[in-house]
Amino acid sequence: MKTMHETALEAIGLIPAERRFRPQDAAAITEHRDLLLSIEPDLIKGFYDTLYAHPPTAQVLGIDERPSREETLSGWWRRTVNGPLDEDYFAWMAMVGLVHVVRNVTNPMMLPMVEFVSSTATAKIHASAMPPDAAADLVDAVRRLCATVASIITYGYDQAVVSALYSVAGMPEGLLRRLRDQEVESELAKSRTELGLAAR
């Protein structure tokens, strides 16, 4: 299995260059740090009210876990806004993918919550007294950051699952990948039939 730094850099390298998180995005976040830090109470409450109101996510979290989970998310938000948003930070996000695998936090649970973080922050930015150009730059920075975090967590998650399967199967990766592709090709053909789409 690759290191978390390698996994994070690989994920970032796969993001189209035009949509990557850039140094000017980190600068915009630092410049408006106080505004972004001020959303923490709404962010934490909204995040866990949402997850605890939904049985599948509430079950993942457990009834007694809310205080420690809130602390984790507060710590994440402060570390994110205060920076530095460097390789160590993104390697940590790759590790979060692994943490989520072992806690059964699936990507359909995780991705809409990244969107929740992004939209909570952007609503606060739009409601602020910032000049429109600066607000637009900051919104773009937050969106790029959230997209990068989501990409790395999901990539780390997928890589961990694949790597665990390779290791359990004890087969060379190349062979397993070919077998996987054959299986998925056959599932794809069935799916096309299920959806009434022409075979290709």
Of 90, 112, 67, the closest CA to residue 4 belongs to 90
Q: At residue 43, what are phi and psi to the nearest 5 degrees?
A: -60, -50
- Report the residue from 12, 61, 130, 134 that binds ligand HEM according to the rule CB under 6 A: 61
Residues 69-88 that bind ligand HEM (CB under 6 A): 72, 76
Beta-carbon contacts of 166 under 8 Å, excluding residues fewer than 6 positions away, are: 173, 176
Burial of 148 (0-12, 13-18, 19+ CB in 10 A): buried
The Cα 159–Cα 2 span in angstroms is 9
114 near ligand HEM, rule: CB under 6 A? yes
* Least Å from the CB of residue 65 to ligand HEM: 7
Quick one: which segment of 34-42, 112-120, 181-189, 192-200 binds ligand HEM (CB under 6 A)?
Answer: 112-120
4 near ligand HEM, rule: CB under 6 A? no
109 near ligand HEM, rule: CB under 6 A? yes
The Cα 110–Cα 124 span in angstroms is 22
**Closer to ligand HEM by Cβ: residue 87 or 173:** 87
* Six-digit token string for 173: 């990766």
107 near ligand HEM, rule: CB under 6 A? no
- Report the residue from 36, 43, 51, 94 that binds ligand HEM according to the rule CB under 6 A: 51
The Cα 122–Cα 116 span in angstroms is 10
**Interacting residues with ligand HEM (CB under 6 A):** 51, 57, 60-61, 72, 76, 96, 99-100, 103, 105, 109-110, 113-114, 117, 149
